[in-house]
């Protein structure tokens, strides 16, 4: 059963022991159901934790406010990242979970990146699909070789290739173990995203570390 926590969410327990759970973070207009099929594809048997963003943009759920396309409300990003980190702590206690690996798309990838900046202990790593630099400051703490996969699109009309490359550089300079791939695609997800994410997670998610 899904516990009553601070975010509306879906939880699917693991069917394969030892795999890191996934924190699934949807894009604008998605909800807690959107990325469950992706999670099942990229990490078969892993526990899946999928919250719904609390911000509404014209009725479309998001994880933080923006002022315009690609222009973030930075104070809201900070507040919402900290709020999401608290939810992760609640969920880990409620479901007896190891630290999750975030798999985020678009707005969800951006809030996952913000977690890496502000609350890196909340995550065991991250798959950032079409992410942008979330905040102007550098990450607050050493990321201690935390694994991060960034997949960006060379024809993405929303995320400039330079911005995704800068995110990879900033996280790497903070100590994360970053792999960045630029795919010949736009903002939407492709089969290559699924394949590369699964390959990366096969290495990064087992065995899961508690703590």
The residue ranges of every structural domain in the chain are 9-204
Using pLDDT thresholds of 50, 70 and 90, give the confidence band for residue 118: very high
| pLDDT exceeds 80 at position 1 | no
9 as an active site residue: the answer is no
Nearest of 204, 209, 164 to residue 43 by alpha carbon: 204
Q: At what angle do helices 107-118 and 161-173 cross, to 10 degrees?
A: 20
What CATH number has the domain spanning 9-204? 3.40.50.1820
Catalytic residue among 73, 82, 177, 187: 187
pLDDT in tens, 144-188: 889 999 999 999 999 999 999 999 999 999 999 999 999 999 999
Q: Is 56 a catalytic residue?
A: no
Q: Is the pLDDT of residue 25 over 70?
A: yes
Q: Which of 106, 152, 197, 205 is catalytic?
A: 106
Q: Radius of gyration over alpha carbons of the chain, in Å?
A: 15
Catalytic residue among 156, 193, 197, 205: 156
Confirm whether 31 is a catalytic residue.
no
Cα 179 to chain centroid distance, Å, stands at: 15
Share of the chain above pLDDT 70, in %: 97
Question: In which residue are the tokens 């699964």 written?
Answer: 198
């Amino acid at each position: 059963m899904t516990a009553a926590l601070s975010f509306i969410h879906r939880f699917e327990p693991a069917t394969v022991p030892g795999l890191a759970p996934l924190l699934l973070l949807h894009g604008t207009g998605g909800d807690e159901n959107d990325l469950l099929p992706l999670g099942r594809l990229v990490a078969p048997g892993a526990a899946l934790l999928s919250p719904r963003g609390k911000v509404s943009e014209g009725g479309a759920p998001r994880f933080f406010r923006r002022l315009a396309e690609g222009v973030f409300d930075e104070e809201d990003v900070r507040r919402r990242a900290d709020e999401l980190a608290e939810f992760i702590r609640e969920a880990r206690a409620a479901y007896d979970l190891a630290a999750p690996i975030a798999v985020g798309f678009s707005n969800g990838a951006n809030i996952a990146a913000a977690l890496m900046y502000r609350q890196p202990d909340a995550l065991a790593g991250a798959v950032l699909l079409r992410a942008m630099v979330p905040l102007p400051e550098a990450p607050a703490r050493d990321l201690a070789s935390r694994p991060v996969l960034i997949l960006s699109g060379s024809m993405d009309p929303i995320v400039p290739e330079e911005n995704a490359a800068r995110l990879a550089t900033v996280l790497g300079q903070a100590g994360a173990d970053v792999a960045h791939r630029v795919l010949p695609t736009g903002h939407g997800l492709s089969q290559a995203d699924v394949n590369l994410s699964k390959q990366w997670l096969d290495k990064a998610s087992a065995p899961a570390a508690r703590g």
